[in-house]
Amino acid sequence: MIQAVFFDIDDTLYHFTEANRLAASEVETYVCKELKIESDAWKDAVKQAQLRIGARLGQSSPTTHNRQIRFQNALEILHKPIYPHGTKLYQLYWDTVLKNAVPEPGVERMLDLLKKKGIHLGIGSDMTSYIQNKKLERLGLAPYFDSVITSEEAGSDKPNSSIFRLCIEKSGCAPEECLFIGDNWEKDVAGACAAGMHCACYSRYSRPPGWGEEYCFNSYEDCIQGDRIRIGKLTI
């Protein structure tokens, strides 16, 4: 019986891909106007910065998600002043993401129903803790969650087992009593299954392998059947 349900955040609770596109566009507009950097040069510098950080710390390091460090390195590559632009770019990026973050249809209703059933609700997400908590606040979903685990706290991005082990530990449940829901097949689904958890893929914004369709759903609203929730073969 499922006693705990964990959710990824980005492209699972809201459409991060679109919010990220809008935020990246705002950042690009700023650097083109204020620093006279060509669009292609900026994009290339950001890619180089990500590779530089990943090569130094490992691609699974949560630090690779830190936009302050990413933009700072990009400015260094372009020989542009870090101050005050690094911090301004960081704030502009995340302000735009948060402004465009809207909960997925039906997700709040599902969380409310799970909460009433006494299910432990948790977050298991890559990224840094501060900004992930700000997203939950912006979405209006923060009060539903009993635990929030990020890769920053766990020490490594998914599919590393550390984040799933911490989810299980904080829930106080056995792995087989936990369900993990995320959009990324390799990171969320395969990672959670390898940890002994039940898993499901929110596939509205992703393309899981064809053989994995039985684990997938693309609408929270369709999962709610009266006072029950049905996700794939699981009924809660």
Comparing CA positions, the residue from 211, 166, 161 lying closest to residue 185 is 211
Tell me the C-alpha distance between 171 and 169, whole Å. 6
Residue type, 232: G
Residue type, 212: G
Give the percent of the chain with pLDDT over 90. Answer: 94
203 pLDDT more than 80: yes
Residue 209, pLDDT score: 76
Residue 180, pLDDT score: 98
Please report which confidence band the pLDDT of residue 207 belongs to, taking 50, 70 and 90 as the band edges: confident
141 pLDDT more than 80: yes
Q: DSSP secondary structure string, 4-34?
A: EEEE--BTTTB-HHHHHHHHHHHHHHHHHHH
212 pLDDT more than 80: no
Residue 232, pLDDT score: 78
The two three-digit tokens of residue 60, written as one number: 């699974």
Predicted model pTM: 0.95
Question: Strands, E, within the chain: which ranges?
Answer: 4-7, 120-125, 147-150, 178-182, 198-202, 216-217, 224-225, 228-231, 234-235
Four-residue CA torsion sign, 19, 21, 26, 27: positive
Residue 143, pLDDT score: 98
Give the percent of the chain with pLDDT over 70. Answer: 99
Residue 211, pLDDT score: 63
The two three-digit tokens of residue 71, written as one number: 């933009």
Residue type, 77: I
The two three-digit tokens of residue 51, written as one number: 């590779």
Q: Is the peptide bond before 105 cis (omega within 30 degrees of 0)?
A: no
The string of pLDDT tens digits covering residues 12-35 is 999 999 999 999 999 999 999 999
Classify the phi-psi angles of 232: left when phi > 0, otherwise alpha if psi is within -120 to 50, otherwise beta: left
The string of pLDDT tens digits covering residues 83-97 is 999 999 999 999 999
Question: What is the 8-class DSSP label of residue 235?
Answer: E
Please report which confidence band the pLDDT of residue 128 belongs to, taking 50, 70 and 90 as the band edges: very high
